[in-house]
Amino acid sequence: MSKVCKNLGASGSGFEHWYLERISALILVPTGLYVLFGFLNNVVAGGYSGAMYWLQSPLSATFSLLFLLAGLRHMVCGLEIVMGDYIHRDVVRLPLLFVVKFGAAAMAILGTLSIAKIFFGV
């Protein structure tokens, strides 16, 4: 792949962005299905204790964390592309992109700390 994709197009960059969006998508397929069925089987009917029990299993905690982080990275990739297509003024798009990236980082920290707290039961 690297032989043909050397960023030789008009923009001079972009392969890494394209690749990261696909890699995160690949991670999101199994982890997204796992989280969806975990919700349906344990969280919806199980209430607080059912949700705690589900997330305290190492497999569920790992899949949830992977889903969260890959999801946020995929979200930043996608929003960056969509904003690039529809928001033409740099003075609007660039500050908004900063908000998206900063918000994603904050959500990654809050989500990771929450999963850790639930998992270790502190």
Partner 1 sequence: MPSPDLKPRPRSPHLQIYKPQLSSVLSITHRVTGVGLTLGLIVFVWWLAALAGGAESYATFIGYAQTILGQVILFGLSAAFLYHLCCGIRHLLWDAGYFLSIKDVYKTGKIMVATVLLLLLIVWLRAYGVSL
Q: What is the pattern of x (binds partner 1, CB under 8 A) and - over residues 71-110?
A: xx--x--xx--x--x--x------------------x--x
Rounded Cα distance between 50 and 56, Å, is 10
Which CB sits closer to partner 1, 14 or 47?
47
Q: Is 85 helix (H, G, I), strand (E, B) or coil?
A: helix
Q: What is the 3-state secondary structure (H, E, C) of 53-90?
A: HHHCCHHHHHHHHHHHHHHHHHHHHHHHHHHHHHCCCH
For residues 108, 113, 114 and 120, what is the CA-based torsion angle, rounded to 10 degrees? 140
Of residues 34 through 63, those in contact with partner 1 by CB under 8 A are: 36, 40, 44-45, 47-48, 51-52, 55
Where does this chain bind partner 1 (CB under 8 A)?
Answer: 22, 25-26, 28-29, 32-33, 36, 40, 44-45, 47-48, 51-52, 55, 64, 68, 71-72, 75, 78-79, 82, 85, 88, 107, 110-111, 113-115, 117-118
